[in-house]
Each structure stands twice: as C-alpha cells, then as structure tokens.
Amino acid sequence: MALPRESLIEDDEALEVLDASAKHGLGVRTLVPRQAGAVVHHFTGVITPELRLHSLQVSEHLHIAETRFIGFLSHSCDPNCRLDMQRFELQALTDVEADGLLTIDYAATEDVLYRQFECHCGAPACRRWITGRAEAPNAEGRAYLASIGR
C-alpha cells in the first residue's frame, strides 16, 4: 500500500454487535464502508490461559476474552476480515459495504475451538464442519460430514 498507514485507520466505534435473535445469531456489522486493507478495529480485552466461548487465541497458550467486538465475529470459510494477533487489529481483506457483516476464519487463529460446528457460509470452498486448525472433527462432525458425503 502506498498510503501512509495512519490514513487506513478508520473509526473503531462504527461497529455494531448484532443481537442473538438475528437470523445467524451473534455477529458484528460495520456501520460504514471498509476498504480492503483497512484496519477496521484495534481491540483490547483480557488475556487469559483459558479457552472460552467468545475468546480468541493470541499465542500458543494465551487467549483474549471480554473483547468488545471481535469475540462476536461470525465465521466464514471465505472471510472478509482477518485478525492480526501481533498488532491486535481487525483488518479488512476485501471491501465491505456499510451494514455488511464482518467475518473471519476461526481456524486462522484457533488451534482448538470451544465448540465445533456446522458451517453454512456459502463459500465455494466451505469446509462444512469447522474445527480449530490443530484438531480433527469430533464424532458429531465426522457423522455430519459423512451424512453430506464428505
């Protein structure tokens, strides 16, 4: 990028956590358009050795919990954002329109998920059952994948 880095930083506050009654449950949307490469949000939270439901892994043995937004990001197998766990930044990978749902690939940061789950993200390369990057599908996941011919 030729632009000075500061110019890519946008308003941290122009994000909104969707409530759990929304169609896809919790999620985070951006209230303003985001450009590919932009830093969407600088996050903070509590660093803990404990894997929790809404925690995210920052290093081999540490997780960040009690975050304002990033713990509520939806998974996609073809996400429009990524987390930089060195800079503690949420970065846009593609342009995202205002009101767009922000997504990350959970397996990009997590060795092990708090809970594995079926994925219906619709990406051509959807993995259909989401695990951490260092774990295999559990019994439920193996049964689900077998049932859909995977």
Residues lying near Zn ion in the complex (CB under 5 A): 77, 119, 121, 126
Q: Minimum distance between the CB of residue 86 and Zn ion, rounded to whole angstroms?
A: 26
Closest to Zn ion by CB, 30 vs 74, is 74
Name the nearest CA neighbour of 117 among 106, 104, 125: 106
Closest to Zn ion by CB, 49 vs 124, is 124
Q: Minimum distance between the CB of residue 77 and Zn ion, rounded to whole angstroms?
A: 3
Closest to Zn ion by CB, 63 vs 75, is 75
| DSSP secondary structure letters along the chain | --S-GGGGB--TT-EEEEPTTSTTSSEEEESS-B-TT-EEEE---EEESS--TT-EEEETTEEEES-SSGGGPEE-SS-SEEEETTTTEEEESS-B-TTPEEEE-GGGT-SS-SS-EE-----TT--SEE--TT----HHHHHHHHHTT-
Q: Minimum distance between the CB of residue 127 and Zn ion, rounded to whole angstroms?
A: 6
Closest to Zn ion by CB, 51 vs 126, is 126
Q: Minimum distance between the CB of residue 69 and Zn ion, rounded to whole angstroms?
A: 21
Q: Minimum distance between the CB of residue 78 and Zn ion, rounded to whole angstroms?
A: 7
Closest to Zn ion by CB, 18 vs 126, is 126
Give the separation between CA 121 and CA 36, rounded to whole angstroms: 20
